[in-house]
Structure 1
């Protein structure tokens, strides 16, 4: 059994922060100390003005004036990060496990990357109480927009893809692009900073008495500039930096809607941009989904000036996500091995290409497969019929898009992944 060395990453390099990076990291002694050194958010009292031009009778005759307390987050871009030795070691260990998992799939990236990306998007959406079956989500991907939740989750998948594409930027502009992709087609100002209050509480009518009110919208641009400067720093242990940038983003709540999903897309963008994940999207949101209450409690603790819980939650979520993803990968490998034993495709043949395609795209039409694989439709149908006869694929008519082909084995594995993520650890 190997002994874990928190100063050595799985790719054989030794770094002070325990992360895989060619950049220079700070000495770990500068990152250890009392967690209470991180500042709590401040507050300011603001007058509440109804969004309607004319007040209602209730507003005219109710208590006047009405005020509410909004958060004033501290600026963090140049702040020292002090963690207890235990939390720092936990984060380094989780960071190294993320690197190991990513490296272990490098040769199979083409097959597993799309499935893990969709799994992350589905889990992130479920944290916001948006759920749909894998079949509904993948059917929405190819044009069936009849199921609202599935369509919104597809938007989240595209936002994750955008986050990975923008991983080298980590700017306010890249965050706005992620949100634009996520919320495109909605009335929630896709890609624009909010110009109104947002809050967490039981009343949708006003922020008066809300549990948490995000900073007034005039503060958002400067706060987002600051948190993205923090995200671009290269002198911090990466997973801890990711956790804190995420918590600060969620505290700012820069958009009218979609903040949670955009904030978790930012997590993936930072992991990719800082070389923790090079090949696949590790579904960290699936780990957070395992105990959503603890995740929300950690965000609350961060706002009170304690960074330890959110760093610990990100580390534990990463570990849970890796375990869950390994199970999914094992199921897909077993399924595809069985397919090959049944179908007996020749190496490099069209049949082999279609089998690989069905594993990573388990709902498709003949036209989409033909276009993606470069196989003529007249040539693809005999292969699809053969796979249907073998029970590998099923054919069904779907609303709006006609005949689709699907792999129920892969769809079941994806649904089981989300189900496992939704169970709290005992």
Structure 2
């Protein structure tokens, strides 16, 4: 199979008439979601579990087995099986890379240099860490099942010279004013996967770019629009729609698939975010009334950021003195705000779970 030569951007053959029905709906749903985001007073707290869930879903597309619970248990200082730790580190790196991208974009635009920096973070000390993290490839790669050769591969990305030219064109296109931003996002994501500029981590990096591109275009006020849940649940369609571009040269099926993903996932994101906001307000009242403590909000924010945690974690990260922390945890269990997931024994700490939040995130 010969290396693919990507279409230069912007595309000249977009069939806009076949996209109009989904374009309008996708724009309305994104606007509704962003309106809801703007009402979130402390997104770093309330949306933390959704960030972790996105990282879990995106990593699962690439074959990891770690669940949201696995990651939360690990970060909440509960023991997890050794064979899950490498997958958990991949999930955590994904989340850190996305956060670093957002922070960097406060002072710089979305560029190839920033993408290389995020890729270095994404691949640090995990599977693929030997595949030149943070650098665009200098050799030919190909995609296929284990045992494939370049002749039997499912897809062969561009040669290094063609890749370099296509990346420059792709970066310029990100700053181009397209007729519709969501259609542009569909093209940006697909073209990145087609170029396949890294030796490993292209899929995860391409999905990190989805919320960052919308943030770059000022379509959303926080880069927290995540598609990996939908893409994981429609994995075969996702890969087939991408492959249809390189097999037939037609982008219409891919763009329609992507717009539909935006519509479905935006509605889910709206429902989950609204449910989390309502839960935060309800539990805030419960904690204030039941504890009468000056540390009520510290307690509230800690359990939203980390809904599975050990007593040691709570004392260390909440900023609450240990004597007060123990009393507060006892009250929250008594009032059914928290549940004991695993009773402490000897030197082993008690593990707590905020199941009402976990139910929303996992729904």
Normalised to the residue count of structure 1, the TM-score between the two structures is 0.72
Alignment match, 2:324:
379
Alignment match, 2:115:
175
Deviations 1:324-348 (A, max 9, x none): 2234335435644554565425799
The change in CA–CA distance for 1:340 and 1:74 in structure 2 (over 3 A counts) is closer
Q: Equivalent of 1:319, from 263, 270, 273?
A: 263
1:409 aligns with 2:356: yes
Alignment match, 1:64:
none
Deviations 1:224-244 (A, max 9, x none): 222111112134421111110
C-alpha separation in 1, matches of 2:104 and 2:24: 25
The change in CA–CA distance for 1:82 and 1:205 in structure 2 (over 3 A counts) is closer
Alignment match, 1:84:
16
C-alpha separation in 1, matches of 2:231 and 2:277: 25
Deviates more, 1:192-201 or 1:329-338: 329-338
Aligned-pair CA distance for 1:172 = 1.0
In proportion to residue count, which structure has more helix? Answer: 2
Size of the aligned set, in residue pairs, is 347
Equivalent positions of 1:300-339 (< 5 A) are: 300-303=243-246, 304-333=248-277, 335-336=279-280, 339=283
Unaligned 5+ segments in structure 1 are 1-67, 417-426
Aligned-pair CA distance for 1:270 = 0.4
Alignment match, 1:263:
206
Equivalent positions of 1:43-62 (< 5 A) are: none
Secondary structure of the structure 1 residue equivalent to 2:3: strand
Alignment match, 1:253:
196
Alignment match, 2:227:
284
1:298 aligns with 2:231: no
C-alpha separation in 2, matches of 1:286 and 1:83: 27
Judge conservation of contact 2:178–2:184 (CA < 8 Å) in 1: no
Aligned-pair CA distance for 1:266 = 1.1
Q: Equivalent of 2:64, from 101, 125, 130?
A: 130
C-alpha separation in 1, matches of 2:234 and 2:204: 17
Judge conservation of contact 2:18–2:252 (CA < 8 Å) in 1: no
C-alpha separation in 2, matches of 1:244 and 1:401: 51
The change in CA–CA distance for 1:170 and 1:350 in structure 2 (over 3 A counts) is same
1:102 aligns with 2:31: no
The structure that has the greater radius of gyration is: 1
Aligned-pair CA distance for 1:102 = 1.8
The change in CA–CA distance for 1:341 and 1:278 in structure 2 (over 3 A counts) is closer
Judge conservation of contact 1:286–1:317 (CA < 8 Å) in 2: no
The change in CA–CA distance for 1:203 and 1:280 in structure 2 (over 3 A counts) is closer
C-alpha separation in 2, matches of 1:259 and 1:195: 15
Deviations 1:3-56 (A, max 9, x none): xxxxxxxxxxxxxxxxxxxxxxxxxxxxxxxxxxxxxxxxxxxxxxxxxxxxxx
The change in CA–CA distance for 1:83 and 1:170 in structure 2 (over 3 A counts) is farther
Judge conservation of contact 2:214–2:220 (CA < 8 Å) in 1: yes
Alignment match, 1:75:
8
Aligned-pair CA distance for 1:100 = 1.4
Equivalent positions of 1:114-153 (< 5 A) are: 114-141=48-75, 146=82, 147=84, 148-153=86-91
User: Greater RCO between the two (CA within 8 Å, min separation 6)?
Assistant: 2
The change in CA–CA distance for 1:401 and 1:254 in structure 2 (over 3 A counts) is farther
1:272 aligns with 2:215: yes
RMSD (Å) for aligned C-alpha atoms: 2.9
C-alpha separation in 1, matches of 2:268 and 2:190: 24
